[in-house]
Amino acid sequence: MNRRDFIKITTISAAGVLLPIKYVQANDKESLKPTLITPNNDFFALHLGDIPAIDLKSWKLAITGHVERVTILTYDDILRMKAITRMYTLTCIGDVVGGNLIGNAKWMGVLMQEVLNKAGVKKDVKEVILRGADGYNTSVPIEDALHEDALLAYKMNGETLPPEHGYPLRFLCPKHYGTKNPKWLVNIELTPNDYKGYWEKQGWDDEALVQIKSGIGRPESKEIIEAKKYTVSGYAFDGGNHGGIAKVEVSIDDGKTWNEADIWATDSPLAWSLWKYTWQVPSNNERLFITARAIAKDNTIQGEVAADGTLSGVSGLHTVEVIVKENP
């Protein structure tokens, strides 16, 4: 069986119509045991309805709106532009504390600013509207679209962008949650006006800036561990919105005391940091509560209280309960 589960859920659109959402995720058992690079088959994906069937021969990207000249690009046009490779982490605004809607990949594509410069950006432009072949739409500020971190990606981990991840082209701006990283792009429209897209019209945060977060991948909840040396591990990420992750701390007494973990893998503030912490499991406790928290380079400490289901993303502390088995 494939290591992905396919779950269909529904949501109500602004017009009151039930729209299917297809959600693809890694197996729960593997969800928070990250390697630096998340394999494509394990990388979470969420989309409205079915994946668009795109014929590359007829596919085009139109840059319209407040531009000096309307520009139409083919796939070959984009491939002829200077290729850029970046390691970016993406996470979902609807993820829960300790959830697995997060992944890290190497993306290849072209700078969004290079594409926009081909069309010419008028001075009054305020936002950039992004539309996908699936009907999804959202927007980002023009400053974000012109930033050197904004990418139009056509490869993921060295492979042609998989259909569920936006083939043939998707927008990437990892400071934002996935709602601002649309797939199957067909139109980029520049506008001098404020614009609210699909999820924003339903109340989800229009900025959608990634909040500082961390997760424990090992041990799993309710796991039985022995009273000996044990290594806790997981990830931390802030989308670069606080300068990146400075350190991660772990508590094995339900937050009473904190110990600094070792960050053993990182690339940039736009990719997650992987950490581990080794300690001697005491034999005088039947149960322990292990908690992790991240601290950013601007000294922002991960929030202690963040209810699941918030429309701006969560930043609560992930706690895992373990059962201690005494050595014979």
pLDDT of residue 49: 81
**Residue 16 confidence class, pLDDT cut points 50, 70, 90:** very low
Q: Over 60: is that where the pLDDT of 23 sits?
A: no
For residue 168, say if its preceding peptide bond is cis, omega within 30 degrees of 0: yes
pLDDT of residue 8: 29
Residue owning tokens 């070959």 = 76
**Residue 307 confidence class, pLDDT cut points 50, 70, 90:** low
Determine the average pLDDT of the residues in 83-88: 98
DSSP for 30-94 reads GTT---SS--GGGS-EEEESSPP---TTT--EEEEESBSS-EEE-HHHHHTSPPEEEEEEEE-TT
Number of other residues whose CB lies within 10 A of the CB of residue 4 = 16
CATH 3.90.420.10 domain span(s) along the chain: 53-202
Determine the average pLDDT of the residues in 279-295: 91
Q: What is the CATH number of domain 213-325?
A: 2.60.40.650
Q: Over 60: is that where the pLDDT of 263 sits?
A: yes
CATH 2.60.40.650 domain span(s) along the chain: 213-325
Determine the average pLDDT of the residues in 127-146: 97
CATH topology classification for 53-202: Sulfite Oxidase; Chain A, domain 2 (3.90.420)
**Residue 143 confidence class, pLDDT cut points 50, 70, 90:** very high
What are the two backbone dihedrals, phi and then psi, of residue 144, each rounded to the nearest 5 degrees? Answer: -70, -40
DSSP for 240-271 reads TTTSSEEEEEEESSTTSS-EEPEEEE---TTS
pLDDT, averaged across the chain: 88
What are the two backbone dihedrals, phi and then psi, of residue 114, each rounded to the nearest 5 degrees? Answer: -70, -40
pLDDT of residue 310: 78
Determine the average pLDDT of the residues in 85-91: 97
Give the span between the Cα atoms of 60 and 77, in whole angstroms.
10
**Residue 303 confidence class, pLDDT cut points 50, 70, 90:** confident
Q: What percent of the chain stands above pLDDT 90?
A: 79
Q: What pTM did the predictor assign?
A: 0.88
At 176, list the tokens. Answer: 């934002």
pLDDT of residue 48: 80
Number of other residues whose CB lies within 10 A of the CB of residue 310 = 16
pLDDT of residue 33: 61
Determine the average pLDDT of the residues in 107-122: 98
**Residue 182 confidence class, pLDDT cut points 50, 70, 90:** very high
What are the two backbone dihedrals, phi and then psi, of residue 28, each rounded to the nearest 5 degrees? Answer: -55, -40
Determine the average pLDDT of the residues in 205-229: 94
Summarised one tens digit per residue, pLDDT across range 24-77 is: 444 344 445 668 999 999 999 988 888 999 999 999 999 999 999 999 999 999
